Amino acid sequence: MATHDYNIANSSGANVRSDLNNALAAIVSNNSSSTEPSTTFAHMWWVDTNANLLKQRNAADDAWITIGSLGTTNLGLLTSSSASSTYMPLAGGTFTGAVTLGTGGSLVFEGATADANETTLAITDPTADRTITLPDATTTVAGLAVAQTYTKAQRGSITTLTSATTVTPDFAASNNFTLTLGHNITLANPSNLTAGQSGAIFLVQDGTGSRTASFGSYWDFPSGTAPTLTTTASAVDLLVYVVRSTTSIHAQLLSNFS
């Protein structure tokens, strides 16, 4: 173990040779010492024998960067076939930039028990850039095929429909809609019907009132009779619905809210 200031002073031959040998000893041992070298240089190595760590001086020569543990295989770093890779310690660390998994990559979680059962986070091949935003809260992720109980209120947005003689809701856009009638309308068969969807549509008369509505063939009402809207100016009716199939929507009008 040796450190050196890497300054060979003028002296007699024997002294210079001894000084050179000390410098070489520091080089071949990567400046091994229990305390940091008193003289440092940008990018120099130091084997910290007290902590058993390999360290390197940063470019500004004002701090040490820990590379890895000398007592751990591969310094405790992930292996990589790329010489330009920046390694992440196996025991964990912090990514400071974006992490991109290749086409064959996935995230696999072992869990608390090391066994043959793992949880894999799989991604459907995207056709465009996608973003998943996690809430600023401690939570449990909901599953599509898992029975579960929500312990907080869940809210669906209310999508505004534009009045026209024919209005075609897009049921992929929302569950709940609002429509202020400026015309006598036909509420046409919605697009993107999926069995099991339910919701409501607020039908609001404008300031003129007297607007009427007819319905597309997919709308099914009690006794097979289409409802009549409240036609008073600014009146509000509520059309509640459940999609039974891709060609049938069971609906009922709740009239004249005030």
249/230 Cα distance (integer angstroms): 21
Which domains does the chain show, CATH number per domain?
Answer: 13-76 (no CATH), 158-257 (2.60.120)
Residue 236 · residue 204 · CB < 8 Å: yes
**What pLDDT is recorded for position 68?**
86
Token pair in block for residue 61: 């020569």
Task: Please give the share of the chain, as a percent, with pLDDT higher than 70.
Answer: 94
Question: For the chain, what's the residue count?
Answer: 258
55/36 Cα distance (integer angstroms): 10
Give the pLDDT confidence of 227-243 residue by residue, as tens digits: 999 999 999 999 999 99
pTM > 0.85: no
Residue range 65-77: mean pLDDT, rounded: 83
CA distances from 61 to 40, 57, 209 (A): 7, 6, 78
**What pLDDT is recorded for position 220?**
98
Q: Could you tell me which residues come within 8 angstroms of residue 133 by beta carbon, excluding any fewer than 6 positions away?
A: none
Give the pLDDT confidence of 161-215 residue by residue, as tens digits: 999 999 999 999 999 999 999 999 999 999 999 999 999 999 999 999 999 999 9
The DSSP-derived string for 231-246 is -STT-EEEEEEEEEET
Give the pLDDT confidence of 148-158 residue by residue, as tens digits: 898 889 899 99
The helix (run of H) or strand (run of E) holding residue 166 is strand 166-167
pLDDT band at 140 (very low <50, low <70, confident <90, very high): confident
Give the pLDDT confidence of 35-48 residue by residue, as tens digits: 999 999 999 999 99
Residue entry with tokens 């990514």: 95
CA distances from 235 to 39, 213, 251 (A): 85, 14, 19
